[in-house]
A and B are shown apart, each in its own frame.
Chain A
């Protein structure tokens, strides 16, 4: 009897649980069904947003908490179109998420996402479904990304990532990995996977990178790994940069992103340079080294310029990028005085021409006037002719008439 009671209770409990679940699913299905009847016009809905989000005009800010606490001005924004649906009266307006789904002739045309503010008065052709639960909204939007095509299907993913207290990493990953989905939808899914805080996303992006045979998707995954705020994508990119079985093109992308921002990859890239054979990869490393801000990376570039065991092409590239960074004119002038090879001298003259400083023009004038190498003098004059320095015309006229 007692057992029966327990069984009855269990059965009742199951029914209660089912009863809790069924209305939610049904509600999401109802939402989809309701909206599928709309052929033309806009559908509005709102749902709870993450508490670190705020909106203003046509932008959405992610670090609203920090802003409120420290009044920091740095923001990361996702711009949407002009705020034609929502009106704002403050610069950082907290939730809800407001989504506008636009249809034309039964086709999904556009999805606009806002945070905070107030709806502008609804005109004709606007269906307002009011406030829905985040679960229903996410299910509905993920459903669009899973089944629809076109740019708007990709636009369904972003609002999902700013819904409050809903697990979205796994469904976004499923779309990102689904080869049957159009590129534009997968691209969006991979991108937004890189933006979620959930660190599982790093492993998911790694899985996409390693399992995909499409260099475009690999490219997106590499970018995503470089963007994840945990920084845990960088070791994966380093491994990938060394993979001999991957194409130089895609390895080059990994090297590029290792050279950017927070990667702090100077030491690693220097050591990688000695291990790669391909000129394409060396080229990418040279560029990535030029993006490092530390003095040792700049010195590495300058040393490479002088290293005669390196190919002229790589030395020229190193010189070009050294010239674009904070390498001083004094260093460059010293390098020039030690150069004998025609191509390197030409490249250095070009590098001088690209420096927007008076002392570089002085050096070009000096070469034009005094260099023993006639071709160097001619090259220097050519670049002087292209400069904006007001002294140049008189200098050239003097050179011609003396």
Chain B
């Protein structure tokens, strides 16, 4: 009886798990279907953004004293009334003949009024949005696949890096897409350094060392990757370690991929 109960619980549990999976797939497919049926025009939707992000006009920034700005095109779709507007992520897909031809990402602000040809899917979960974006990254052979990666790293509360590692290592994907994934993995690994370590700042020495890290990253034939990894692991200055991770993110070196994976796995 007890066994039966456990079995029943297990069955129910399995059904719950299945039930929780099926809608996710269905939702990602649903987004794709709705994009395809949009024909020509724009499809837009929002999803939760990581709290450290804010947007303004055509830029997205992270952090307070360490701003990173990723410029997209001019803010055609979103209006801002202050300089650092928090979430959500606003995504606009340009669709030609049912196929996504361009992706624009914003954070915060308000949608500009929708004109003809705009399909608004409303607010999606971070999971649904990232599933969809990953499906673009893993199937599109052009710039859309590459451009799908940045906005999926903005999503709040979802772990995307394991799938980005798959993408980086998949030699059948376009190099530009793999490089983009590598770059964002480097960013994610760098964030771990900043979060883990406090350090006394000697700006002058740090600046010079960061220049040396950059110079090291420019050595031919990835000659200095092992030195950069050594710096990323062991340098006393967290800024310098982050800089090493950033430049490792510009390589496609398997040793750098391994390091990123090690750092990101140790977080979870």
**A and B bound?**
yes
Residues of A bordering B, CB below 8 Å:
368, 374, 377-378, 381-382, 384-386, 388, 392-394, 396-397, 399-401
User: What's the least CB distance linking A387 to chain B, in Å?
Assistant: 9
Bound-state CA distance A386–B217 (Å) is 10
User: What's the least CB distance linking A401 to chain B, in Å?
Assistant: 6
Q: Which residue of B212, B214, B231 is within 8 Å of A368 (Cβ)?
A: B212
Residues of B within 8 A of A394 (CB): 227
Given A386-B218, A397-B227, A400-B209, 15 more contacts at CB 8 Å? A374-B208, A378-B211, A381-B212, A382-B211, A382-B218, A385-B214, A385-B216, A385-B218, A385-B219, A386-B215, A393-B223, A396-B215, A397-B216, A397-B230, A399-B208
- Is B220 an interface residue, CB under 8 A from the partner? yes
Assess the B231–A378 pair: CB atoms within 8 A: no
Among residues 214 to 256 in chain B, which have CB atoms less than 8 Å away from a CB atom of chain A? 214-220, 223-224, 227, 230-231, 234-235, 240
Assess the B231–A384 pair: CB atoms within 8 A: no
Assess the A382–B214 pair: CB atoms within 8 A: yes
Which residue of chain A is the closest to B218 with respect to CB atoms? A385
Residues of B within 8 A of A378 (CB): 207-208, 211
Which residue of chain A is the closest to B223 with respect to CB atoms? A393
Q: Which residue of A392, A399, A401 is within 8 Å of B219 (Cβ)?
A: A392
Bound-state CA distance A365–B218 (Å) is 16
User: What's the least CB distance linking A380 to chain B, in Å?
Assistant: 9
Residues of B bordering A, CB below 8 Å:
204, 207-209, 211-220, 223-224, 227, 230-231, 234-235, 240
Assess the B208–A382 pair: CB atoms within 8 A: no
Bound-state CA distance A197–B169 (Å) is 69
Q: Describe A's contact surface by its main secondary structure.
A: helix
Q: Which residue of A374, A381, A382, A400 is within 8 Å of B231 (Cβ)?
A: A400
Residues of A within 8 A of B224 (CB): 393, 396-397
Which residue of chain B is the closest to A397 with respect to CB atoms? B227
Assess the A400–B240 pair: CB atoms within 8 A: yes
Bound-state CA distance A397–B235 (Å) is 10
Assess the B214–A393 pair: CB atoms within 8 A: no
Which residue of chain A is the closest to B219 with respect to CB atoms? A393
Bound-state CA distance A394–B215 (Å) is 12
Bound-state CA distance A368–B211 (Å) is 10
Bound-state CA distance A173–B55 (Å) is 70
Q: Which residue of A374, A384, A401 is within 8 Å of B230 (Cβ)?
A: A401
Residues of B within 8 A of A384 (CB): 215
Residues of B within 8 A of A386 (CB): 215, 218
Known A385-B218, A386-B218; judge A399-B223 contact (CB<8 A). Answer: no
Assess the B212–A374 pair: CB atoms within 8 A: no
Which residue of chain A is the closest to B236 with respect to CB atoms? A401
Residues of A within 8 A of B211 (CB): 377-378, 381-382
Q: Which residue of B204, B216, B234, B235 is within 8 Å of A393 (Cβ)?
A: B216
User: What's the least CB distance linking B209 to chain A, in Å?
Assistant: 5
